Amino acid sequence: MTLRVAIVGGGPAGIYAADLLTKSETDVSVDIIERLPVPFGLVRYGVAPDHPRIKEIVKALQRVLAKPEVRFLGNVEYGVDVKLEDLREFYDAVVVATGAMSDRALGIPGEDLPGSFGAADFVSWYDAHPDVPRTWPLEAEHVAVLGVGNVALDVARVLAKKAEEMLATDIPANVHEGLLTKRATDVHVFARRGPAYAKFSPLELRELAHSPNVDVIVHPEGFEVDEASMAHVAANKQAKMVLNTLSNWVGREPTGKAHRIHLHFLEQPVEILGDDGVTGLRTERTSLVGDGSVAGTGEITDWDVQAVYRAVGYRSTSLPGLPFDDRVAVIPNDGGRVLDLDGESIPGTYVTGWIKRGPVGLIGHTKSDAAETVAHLVAETTATATERDPGAVNAYFAERGVDVVEFANWERLDQHEITLGEVAGRARVKVGDREEMLRVAHAG
């Protein structure tokens, strides 16, 4: 009997799960249901355009989609076009891999002012996500970025770099035109803790200094390393490399480049200032308390910035028919088995990727996630698989007028973007308009 599995979400977590299912000893057929007309999730709509090497991962993911046991059903939204009870009719098991697309709230006054932006929204804009507006206001000369994770680095780098430096990437014309209007000269990045606790990756941090147009300035005020910091870096190789780089940079004078990225440590954002729009950021100096956390000192600084980008983490959203732990924004699970409100596992229902364990970790981590989930799924559902018609789900979508983008349609759009790139001397130029994406996908 063929085990039929629906994977909801065509990001890396979902695609790795499909791959592992096809490599299991069970005879499987897998459908990947994705709300966008394209696969790859945050690899396409999160990874920064000036990181083409990382985007190469799509080649391996594409090979999974091309497998005969796997079907891609794009432009189908779970909860809108299909519900859990429908999936139960067509499949023996369901794996939820819907990731995270929104910004976590910061919870300070002024957060909702015009000019206070969530990093996720800005990232979606520069990565040409089809569901966001095509323009972005970039007139601020002094900008704050809150948080010191890799997303903060991406945002600071894109804000500080010259538009021409981004032109070799896969950005479409509207993003390049938008970046040309950018007026930012100074980008201030704020960490509430000390430099030992920055969550940057060492390589990504060092890359910040590679732009010929950007000086990186690490401010000495707040650059404090206590015993707990030393113990932390001793136990964490990445943090040690980051601290070494920051220590080499601290106090270095700017060399006169047109743009500057300032890194400030031990400054906690307390309010985004302004009436009708952002006119400043208020921070409170913190001090290390000896266990990795910080306490406010009461010393307040107002920073003259006209835009604030909040890069304090992504957040997953709940899905109809499935439990959700609102506190940590994940689907409650035990090693990938979805748990109901009583903590009992829901038969045939699994979860993987960021919606399983929260919005932290690299693309590669979603592979180990998927391995755990798939191992449980195969062990628990193979014996109860029943005879099902793989065409029934297609008939269901056709009856409801859902404009499904299958793998061959995606290949057409993919080739179209590559051809646009060849004309422009680039590897690819993305299509960012949903109508246009669907038109190209279904052409011919």
Q: Which does 138 bind (CB under 5 to 8 A by kind): ligand NAP, ligand FAD, none?
A: none
Residue closer to ligand NAP (CB basis): 266 or 405: 266
Residue closer to ligand NAP (CB basis): 330 or 377: 330
The DSSP line for 406-418 is -HHHHHHHHHHHH
Residue closer to ligand FAD (CB basis): 61 or 140: 61
- Pairwise CA distance, residues 99 & 4, whole Å: 22
Shortest distance in whole angstroms from residue 280 CB to ligand FAD: 26
- Coil, helix or strand at residue 189: strand
Q: What are phi and psi of 261, to 5 degrees?
A: -110, 120
C-alpha distances in Å from residue 415, one per residue of 34, 67, 427, 437: 20, 18, 11, 12
Number of H helices, E strands in the chain: 17, 18
Residue closer to ligand NAP (CB basis): 179 or 196: 196
Q: Which does 195 bind (CB under 5 to 8 A by kind): ligand FAD, ligand NAP, none?
A: none
Exposed / middle / buried, residue 324 (Cβ in 10 Å: 0-12, 13-18, 19+):
middle
Residues of this chain, 134-153, that bind ligand NAP according to CB under 6 A:
146-152
Residues that bind ligand FAD (CB under 6 A): 8-14, 33-36, 41-43, 46-47, 51, 54, 77-79, 97-100, 123, 151, 154, 314, 319, 353-354, 361-363, 366
Residue closer to ligand NAP (CB basis): 71 or 129: 129
Residue closer to ligand NAP (CB basis): 106 or 338: 106
Residue closer to ligand NAP (CB basis): 150 or 279: 150
Angle between helix axes 57-65 and 12-23 (nearest 10 degrees) is 50
Shortest distance in whole angstroms from residue 426 CB to ligand FAD: 19
> Looking at the DSSP assignment, which residues form a beta bridge with residue 308?
116, 144
Shortest distance in whole angstroms from residue 278 CB to ligand FAD: 22
Q: Does 197 bind ligand NAP (CB under 6 A)?
A: yes
Shortest distance in whole angstroms from residue 266 CB to ligand FAD: 25
Q: Does 239 bind ligand NAP (CB under 6 A)?
A: no
- Pairwise CA distance, residues 217 & 35, whole Å: 41
Q: Which does 130 bind (CB under 5 to 8 A by kind): ligand NAP, ligand FAD, none?
A: none
Q: Does 431 bind ligand NAP (CB under 6 A)?
A: no
Among 142, 182, 188, 199, binds ligand NAP (CB under 6 A): 199
Residues sharing a CB contact under 8 Å with residue 258, sequence separation 6 or more, in sequence order: 162, 185, 213
Among 312, 404, 405, 437, binds ligand NAP (CB under 6 A): 312
Residue closer to ligand FAD (CB basis): 239 or 294: 239
- Pairwise CA distance, residues 67 & 71, whole Å: 8
Give CA 218 to chain center in angstroms: 26
Q: Which does 11 bind (CB under 5 to 8 A by kind): ligand FAD, ligand NAP, none?
A: ligand FAD
Q: Does 216 bind ligand NAP (CB under 6 A)?
A: no
Residues sharing a CB contact under 8 Å with residue 381, sequence separation 6 or more, in sequence order: 3, 92, 93, 348
Q: Alpha helices, DSSP H only, in 265-403?
A: 354-357, 365-381, 392-399
Shortest distance in whole angstroms from residue 152 CB to ligand NAP: 6
Do residues 100 and 314 lie in contact, with contact meaning Cβ atoms separated by under 8 Å?
A: yes
Q: Which does 354 bind (CB under 5 to 8 A by kind): ligand NAP, ligand FAD, none?
A: ligand FAD
- Pairwise CA distance, residues 429 & 166, whole Å: 12
Largest CA distance in the chain: 70
Q: Does 90 bind ligand NAP (CB under 6 A)?
A: no
- Pairwise CA distance, residues 352 & 367, whole Å: 9
Q: Does 361 bind ligand NAP (CB under 6 A)?
A: yes
Q: Which does 197 bind (CB under 5 to 8 A by kind): ligand FAD, ligand NAP, none?
A: ligand NAP
Binding site for ligand NAP (CB under 6 A): 106, 146-152, 154, 192-193, 197, 199, 201, 204, 269, 311-314, 359-362
